[in-house]
Structure 1
Amino acid sequence: MEDAETRTTAPEPGHVAFGPAFQIDPEEQLATRAAWLYFVSGLTQAQIGKKLGLNRTRVNRLLAQARDQGLVQINITGRLASCVALEEQLKKQYGLDEATVVPTPPSQELIPQVIATAAGAALAERLKDGMSVGVGWGRTLRLSIQSVPRRALNQLSVVSLLGGLTRGSAMNPHETASHLADLVGAQCYYVAAPALTDTESTRNVLMSQPMLREVFDKGEKVDLAFLSVGELSHNCTMTRVGLVTRSEVDDLQRAGAVGDIAAHWIDVEGRLVNHPLNSRVVALNPGKLRDIPCVVIASGGKTKSAALRGVLKGGMCDVLITDEQTAAAILAMESK
């Protein structure tokens, strides 16, 4: 079943009619969910059967139905009613231009991959000749860019929106920006400085340098920004790459931080928290995101719902790509 004609990548982003078209056939919805779990999440038919409460024969028939009805082509074209409803609620609640909600896989470890598949398709669709694209960092973004097809675009530039790591890492902002630039034949602009300096004064000296000022000026003027959101925990990406210590995590939590956007720590309302780390960051200030025409945020997982809610409340997102459980958790915060 996994030949070239049946491999899937992501649901094609686009506008969904909300009304009569919202009434999705339950059988189609079940077939779509089974197809997503099989082709994108990589579950076996037995695992899908256990998750959906079906026997293996029934799962096999649903997958066949998904192919026969055209739900599985290059993309999964069927829409889940539950995901569509969450998309519409997110757009209404936060004034988003677009929201894409994908089914949550059974393992939290698979969430970055399924979101990245959808995010890569969303980014590829928006890339045009003559654009400038600002890029953040993180595992989800790295995986997303792996899903962007290689094609040559004219006069496209890619700008890294934050400084780099002092040691090699697949999640290094420089690597993320350069990979995207290579895929589309773009000119790439890096921030030739660490993402976090030792003191505020060092940061101020670096930010005053013409070379860095030029890159950040370009970052503020990009047509599209592609970012992810980080959680705040003792095992978050920031601690794993050595940017933040465990004691600093505790301090940030006491200051009200729930996560980061562009390496800046924010609270659940999207405000920068009063903490020394925020004065040492070499990155685009999140407040500048509000002036960028299109900001795409791709992130999910139960540990990131508070940070995502902060980004949405702070008006720093135009297009959100997340998973079903995270979307529901974000909206539940509003009801409280």
Structure 2
Amino acid sequence: MDEADSRSPAPDPGATAPLLGRNLNVDAEEQLATRAAWLYFVAGLTQAQIGKKLGLNRTRVNRLLAQARDHGLVQIHITGRLASCVEIEERLKQAYGLADATVVPTPPDQELVPQVIATAAAASLSARLKDGMSVGVGWGRTLRLSIQSVPRRQLNRLSVVSLLGGLTRGSAMNPHETASHLADLVGAQCYYVAAPALTDTQSTRDLLIAQPMLREIFERGAKVDLAFLSVGELTPHCTMTRVGLVSRAEVDDLRKAGAVGDICAHWIDSEGRLVDHPLNSRVVALSPERLRDIPCVMIASGGRAKAQVLRGVLKGRMCDVLVTDEQTAKAILAMDSK
């Protein structure tokens, strides 16, 4: 509204009478709210400037702007490249009771999905690290890439705990390497699970877990302030098969048992329940059930093949903060909308 409007002559009452007869008169309060909204959102005036122009105090202007939004007089459309991601973040938080979610645009090349998620996850993790914290760490390509992007800084009295056993052969994705790298970056004390991630039999696993040293590590793991994890898909070429923990035949058996992927080396179904399979009784890792007692569980993972297992983790209430890509997030939400 420009200055000429305030100097315009008053309308002829006779000319407005026919309009009033057709119920086209505008409520005075609505008209005032519309004027305030136009001056604020279109003209770019401050609330103080609007108050001076309309002869109102700032409290009144603030109420008029709120009224304009509530009554639909103002509709805001965000057109930035990340607008759709922000909307999906809110839908994920509402649908699964998340404390926070970060959704990044999916790159055209699926091979780049872990890297873009890792960059966002590193920023989210770094923002949460504080003096005196204890952090539990999982394993996987995305976590390894994430920690490579965590800036080096010195934190006091921080500890890092590996939440699962190690691999029996060298690998950059070894849980021990992931935990030690994070500990080195922030000057933390690191605790390892001195056992393989998967034993040959359940009795071997039970014997190892009963050892005081391992029992102490898992007690530490269950009491961490924050757990930083990823999930694995269930395919013939998944990480578990590539590092030799699971055979192709076991992949088929897991599928028949209803598994869609793993978290902390435990196989779960699409509802987040542990599947009935011998592999789950041979895992040397913190169980998914105990994740629910950790104050903040952050999961960084994405890609088409991860949608089902991520949905299972979310349905099972094992995640508080999710970092994923847009296509994966949409796929998760679509599963529950059917």
- Name the counterpart of 1:244: 246
Asked if 2 retains the 8 angstrom alpha-carbon contact of 1:90 and 1:99, the reply is: yes
- Name the counterpart of 2:202: 200
- The residue correspondences of 1:310-329 to structure 2 (distance < 5 A) are 310-329=312-331
Residue by residue over 1:34-55, the C-alpha shift from the partner in whole angstroms, topping out at 9 and shown as x without a partner, is xxxxxxxxxxxxxxxxxxxxxx
In structure 1, C-alpha distance between the alignment counterparts of 2:78 and 2:141, rounded to whole Å: 35
- Name the counterpart of 2:188: 186
- Name the counterpart of 2:304: 302
In structure 2, C-alpha distance between the alignment counterparts of 1:100 and 1:277, rounded to whole Å: 32
Does 2:85 match 1:83? yes
Deviation at 1:81, TM superposition (A): 1.4
Asked if 2 retains the 8 angstrom alpha-carbon contact of 1:140 and 1:298, the reply is: yes
1:111 corresponds to which of 92, 113, 129: 113
Describe the SS at the equivalent of 1:197: coil
In structure 1, C-alpha distance between the alignment counterparts of 2:76 and 2:174, rounded to whole Å: 44
In structure 1, C-alpha distance between the alignment counterparts of 2:171 and 2:93, rounded to whole Å: 35
Does 2:258 match 1:260? no
In structure 2, C-alpha distance between the alignment counterparts of 1:278 and 1:133, rounded to whole Å: 24
In structure 2, C-alpha distance between the alignment counterparts of 1:175 and 1:155, rounded to whole Å: 20
Runs of 4+ in 1 over 6 A off after TM superposition: 19-22
Aligned residues: 267
In structure 1, C-alpha distance between the alignment counterparts of 2:78 and 2:138, rounded to whole Å: 39
In structure 1, C-alpha distance between the alignment counterparts of 2:194 and 2:77, rounded to whole Å: 50
- Name the counterpart of 1:43: none
In structure 2, C-alpha distance between the alignment counterparts of 1:119 and 1:192, rounded to whole Å: 27
Asked if 2 retains the 8 angstrom alpha-carbon contact of 1:134 and 1:226, the reply is: yes
Deviation at 1:25, TM superposition (A): 4.4
Describe the SS at the equivalent of 2:161: strand
- Name the counterpart of 1:215: 217
Does 2:160 match 1:158? yes
In structure 2, C-alpha distance between the alignment counterparts of 1:23 and 1:114, rounded to whole Å: 29
What code does the residue aligned with 1:190 have? Y
Deviation at 1:181, TM superposition (A): 0.2
Describe the SS at the equivalent of 2:177: helix
Residue by residue over 1:211-252, the C-alpha shift from the partner in whole angstroms, topping out at 9 and shown as x without a partner, is 000000000000000000100000000000000000000000
In structure 1, C-alpha distance between the alignment counterparts of 2:162 and 2:277, rounded to whole Å: 24
In structure 2, C-alpha distance between the alignment counterparts of 1:211 and 1:24, rounded to whole Å: 57
Residue by residue over 1:47-85, the C-alpha shift from the partner in whole angstroms, topping out at 9 and shown as x without a partner, is xxxxxxxxxxxxxxxxxxxxxxxxxxxxxxxxx111011
- Name the counterpart of 2:285: 283
In structure 2, C-alpha distance between the alignment counterparts of 1:301 and 1:140, rounded to whole Å: 11
TM-score (norm 2): 0.78
In structure 1, C-alpha distance between the alignment counterparts of 2:195 and 2:246, rounded to whole Å: 17
Asked if 2 retains the 8 angstrom alpha-carbon contact of 1:189 and 1:215, the reply is: yes
What code does the residue aligned with 2:224 have? V
1:231 corresponds to which of 220, 230, 233: 233
Deviation at 1:23, TM superposition (A): 3.9
- Name the counterpart of 2:46: none
Residue by residue over 1:152-198, the C-alpha shift from the partner in whole angstroms, topping out at 9 and shown as x without a partner, is 00000000000000011000000000000000000000000000000
In structure 2, C-alpha distance between the alignment counterparts of 1:306 and 1:273, rounded to whole Å: 14
Does 2:167 match 1:170? no
What code does the residue aligned with 1:322 have? T
What code does the residue aligned with 1:277 have? L
Asked if 2 retains the 8 angstrom alpha-carbon contact of 1:22 and 1:81, the reply is: no
Q: State the identity as a percent.
A: 79
Describe the SS at the equivalent of 1:193: coil
In structure 1, C-alpha distance between the alignment counterparts of 2:78 and 2:188, rounded to whole Å: 43
In structure 1, C-alpha distance between the alignment counterparts of 2:78 and 2:99, rounded to whole Å: 27
Deviation at 1:22, TM superposition (A): 9.7
Describe the SS at the equivalent of 1:134: strand
In structure 2, the CA distance between the partners of 1:90 and 1:25, relative to structure 1 (3 Å rule), is closer
What code does the residue aligned with 2:183 have? A
Indicate the RMSD between aligned Cα atoms, in angstroms.
1.4
In structure 2, the CA distance between the partners of 1:89 and 1:146, relative to structure 1 (3 Å rule), is same
Does 2:147 match 1:145? yes
What code does the residue aligned with 2:146 have? S
What code does the residue aligned with 1:328 have? K
Asked if 2 retains the 8 angstrom alpha-carbon contact of 1:131 and 1:155, the reply is: yes
What code does the residue aligned with 2:151 have? P
